């Protein structure tokens, strides 16, 4: 008998190598676990998650993407779920929980097929075709909104639908109008970075307000600022990146001085350099001087004597937004300062907001900008309000660019499910089963909405199927009366783009997870750099 050939060692010792059918099933299970972590946040009755990171910072959130970003997921295939939530957040801004829940349901429905030995590529092909059909049908269902007054109405309703599942749902009308106003102030490119959000702890949520211009917290001030005027009409604004301060001599420089006069000249030189800079700024006509670097006592008092306002140590982003809105440019030297490098706005004033003083610039000339001042009890609460408003603002932007809507609250999902189920009957062979599974997956959204609200899901889904079969295409769940009703009439609207993007992302993620049949995980090398058992060369 010949000796058996020794095993071929291909990968390093300690490498994990999983493959085959079991690998796909374990990936599906991992993705389901990820979805379970955000599943309960879906919808108006969704619960929030409190996440404490390794540094002990707490975050309370209802936003799927935020929660998944904060979870430290180590399972390789499950990271895909995290990525689709991020991409949905970046592309549309809302629907992050829906996309993850939908993808997990698609995978769950695929599991029995994989276990029976169906080749994953057959599933992938069927799902891709079904997704194309779903997108085509979605586009044909979407309702276009015409006319300006109807458009504003539509935007407010879309924002309210988004906010109904957030912490601020009680005040959703107030905030929905605020978001629509904020987006309407912007120019046609709708740049998001021109909407600033400032958190001011204290006060009630309803004290939050929209400023038509730039607002930021009063900077650190030096002696003499009390004498400066606090309101101006049509001022010119100088934006600097220069330190206007006398420096203490730190360097170990050696100067040989023969007389007191010479010493006096050295001292005067520094003062003269500073005064020279201040004069140039004054002569250019600037009334407000903002600098990223400190503006010292001498400069502050010099400006106060000439009825000018100054503020130093302003954060870079506030300076950038002021420059974008009021015009002008950020100067690093004042030698060439002139009227054309200064910004301008209609009105400047300083005002108390909560416990802080804020500087306001209104009526900006160059670009349209606005700032939302958020009030509320605790820091975490305001942070969550900010995330909710970000979702609503993104939705308003999307709806404004793409003014077609569908009914939310599970209505559109049930309609797609019904259409695909009917379409599946026209397909011969076993592909029909895959289409059926795909169609059933959409029912997870209304089902989850019911679970989260504590409504009998089986009962509601049966009613919904019945209504959709009769042709009531906008029948959805009304959480408040715990029943089924026409959600188009009830004004539970969302931009069709949200659904479209969620559908495409979920199907892509599903196909990606199904197509992975092997994971190779390299061993962690200890800090020494060599593997255990391997001597150093």
What CA–CA distance (Å, rounded) separates 145 from 495? 11
Tens-place pLDDT, residues 222-280: 777 788 888 999 899 999 998 888 776 556 667 778 888 888 888 888 888 889 899 99
For residue 457, the model assigns a pLDDT of 93
For residue 62, the model assigns a pLDDT of 92
- Confidence category of residue 536, pLDDT binned at 50, 70, 90: very low
What CA–CA distance (Å, rounded) separates 344 from 113? 66
For residue 147, the model assigns a pLDDT of 77
- Confidence category of residue 116, pLDDT binned at 50, 70, 90: very high
Q: What is the DSSP string of 118-154?
A: --HHHHHHHHHHHHHHHHHHHHHHPEE--SHHHHHHH
Report whether pLDDT(3) > 80: no
User: 189 and 195 in contact (C-beta within 8 Å)?
Assistant: no
pLDDT, mean of residues 312-316: 90
In this structure, CATH architecture of domain 14-142+405-519: Orthogonal Bundle (1.10)
Pairing of strands 356-364, 370-376: unpaired
Report whether pLDDT(534) > 70: no
What CA–CA distance (Å, rounded) separates 197 from 179? 11
Q: Give the contacts of 162 (CB within 8 A, at least 6 positions apart).
A: 94, 388, 391, 392, 395, 494
User: 343 and 287 in contact (C-beta within 8 Å)?
Assistant: no
Closest of 418, 419, 416 to residue 407, by C-alpha: 416
For residue 101, the model assigns a pLDDT of 96
Question: Quick one: tokens of 67?
Answer: 């929660």
Which of 81-90, 276-285, 371-380, 524-533 bottoms out in mean pLDDT, i.e. has the lowest? 524-533
- Confidence category of residue 522, pLDDT binned at 50, 70, 90: confident
Per the model's pLDDT, the better-predicted residue between 103 and 364 turns out to be 103
According to the per-residue pLDDT averaged within each range, which of 145-149, 263-267, 320-324 is highest?
A: 320-324
Active-site residue numbers? 63, 96-97, 391
Per the model's pLDDT, the better-predicted residue between 65 and 269 turns out to be 65
pLDDT, mean of residues 374-379: 88
pLDDT, mean of residues 123-141: 96
Report whether pLDDT(360) > 70: yes
For residue 109, the model assigns a pLDDT of 96
The CA-atom distances, in angstroms, between 229 and each of 149, 215, 297, 382, 401 are 42, 17, 16, 32, 43
Domain boundaries, the chain: 14-142+405-519, 212-365
The CA-atom distances, in angstroms, between 217 and each of 223, 292, 400 are 18, 14, 31
Residue 66: what are its φ and ψ, rounded to 5°?
-60, -45
Per the model's pLDDT, the better-predicted residue between 533 and 54 turns out to be 54
Per DSSP, 256 falls in state -
Report whether pLDDT(99) > 80: yes
- Confidence category of residue 2, pLDDT binned at 50, 70, 90: low
Tens-place pLDDT, residues 13-34: 777 777 788 899 999 999 999 9
Per the model's pLDDT, the better-predicted residue between 529 and 11 turns out to be 11
Give the pTM.
0.84
Report whether pLDDT(525) > 80: no
Report whether pLDDT(532) > 60: no
Residue 163: what are its φ and ψ, rounded to 5°?
-75, -15
pLDDT, mean of residues 171-198: 89
The CATH T-level fold of domain 212-365 is GroEL (3.50.7)
pLDDT, mean of residues 334-342: 87
Tens-place pLDDT, residues 392-440: 999 999 888 888 999 999 999 999 999 999 999 999 989 999 999 999 9
For residue 248, the model assigns a pLDDT of 61
Which of 227-236, 342-351, 435-444, 524-533 bottoms out in mean pLDDT, i.e. has the lowest? 524-533
The rounded percent of the chain whose pLDDT value lies above 70 is 95
Which of 225-229, 403-407, 471-475, 485-489 bottoms out in mean pLDDT, i.e. has the lowest? 225-229
Report whether pLDDT(174) > 90: yes
**Fold agreement between 14-142+405-519 and 212-365:** no
Angle at 280 between CA 278 and CA 286, to 5 degrees: 85
For residue 191, the model assigns a pLDDT of 84
For residue 20, the model assigns a pLDDT of 82
- Confidence category of residue 181, pLDDT binned at 50, 70, 90: very high
């Amino acid at each position: 008998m010949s000796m058996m050939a020794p095993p071929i060692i291909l990968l390093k010792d300690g490498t994990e190598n999983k493959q085959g059918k079991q690998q796909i099933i374990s990936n599906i299970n991992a993705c389901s676990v990820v979805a379970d972590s955000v599943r309960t946040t879906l919808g108006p009755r969704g619960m929030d998650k409190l996440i404490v990171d390794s540094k002990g910072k707490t975050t309370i959130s209802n936003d799927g993407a935020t929660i998944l970003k904060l979870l430290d997921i180590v399972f390789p295939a499950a990271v895909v779920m995290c990525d689709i939530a991020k991409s949905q957040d970046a592309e549309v801004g809302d629907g992050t929980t829906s996309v993850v829940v939908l993808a997990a349901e698609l995978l769950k429905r695929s599991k029995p097929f994989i276990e029976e030995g169906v080749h994953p590529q057959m599933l992938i092909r069927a799902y891709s075709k079904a997704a194309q059909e779903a997108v085509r049908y979605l586009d044909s269902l979407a309702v276009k909104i015409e006319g300006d007054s109807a458009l504003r109405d539509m935007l407010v309703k879309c924002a309210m639908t988004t906010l109904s599942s957030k912490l601020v749902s009680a005040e959703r009308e107030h905030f929905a109008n605020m978001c629509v106003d904020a987006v309407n102030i912007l120019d046609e490119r709708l740049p998001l970075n021109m909407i600033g959000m400032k958190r001011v702890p204290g006060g009630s949520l309803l004290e939050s307000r929209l400023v038509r211009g730039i607002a930021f917290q009063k900077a650190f001030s030096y002696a003499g600022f009390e004498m400066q005027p606090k309101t101006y009409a049509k001022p010119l604004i100088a934006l600097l990146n220069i330190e206007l301060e006398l420096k203490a001599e730190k360097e170990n420089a050696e100067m040989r001085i023969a007389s007191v006069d010479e010493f006096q000249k050295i001292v005067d030189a520094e003062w003269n350099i500073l005064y020279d800079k201040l004069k140039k700024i004054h002569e250019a006509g600037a009334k407000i001087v903002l600098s990223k670097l400190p503006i010292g006592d001498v400069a502050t008092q010099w400006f106060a004597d000439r009825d000018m306002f100054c503020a130093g140590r302003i954060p870079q982003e506030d300076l950038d937004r002021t420059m974008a809105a009021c015009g002008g440019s950020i100067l690093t030297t004042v030698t060439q300062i002139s009227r054309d490098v200064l910004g301008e706005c209609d009105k400047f004033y300083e005002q108390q907001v909560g416990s802080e003083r804020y500087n306001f610039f209104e009526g900006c000339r160059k670009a349209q900008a606005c700032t939302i001042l958020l009030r509320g009890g605790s820091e975490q609460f305001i942070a969550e309000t900010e995330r909710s408003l970000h979702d609503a603002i993104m939705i308003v932007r999307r709806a404004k660019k793409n003014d077609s809507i569908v009914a939310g609250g599970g209505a559109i999902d049930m309609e797609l499910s019904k259409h695909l189920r009917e379409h599946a009957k026209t397909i011969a062979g076993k592909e029909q089963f895959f289409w059926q599974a795909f169609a059933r997956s959409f029912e997870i959204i209304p089902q989850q909405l019911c679970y989260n609200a504590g409504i009998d899901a089986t009962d509601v889904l049966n009613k919904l199927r019945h209504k959709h079969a009769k042709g009531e295409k906008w029948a959805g769940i009304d959480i408040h009366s715990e029943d089924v009703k026409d959600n188009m009439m009830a004004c539970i609207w969302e931009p069709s783009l949200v659904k479209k993007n969620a559908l495409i992302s979920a199907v892509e993620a599903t196909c990606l997870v199904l197509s992975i049949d092997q994971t190779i995980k390299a061993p962690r090398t200890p800090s020494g750099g060599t593997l255990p058992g391997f001597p150093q060369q």
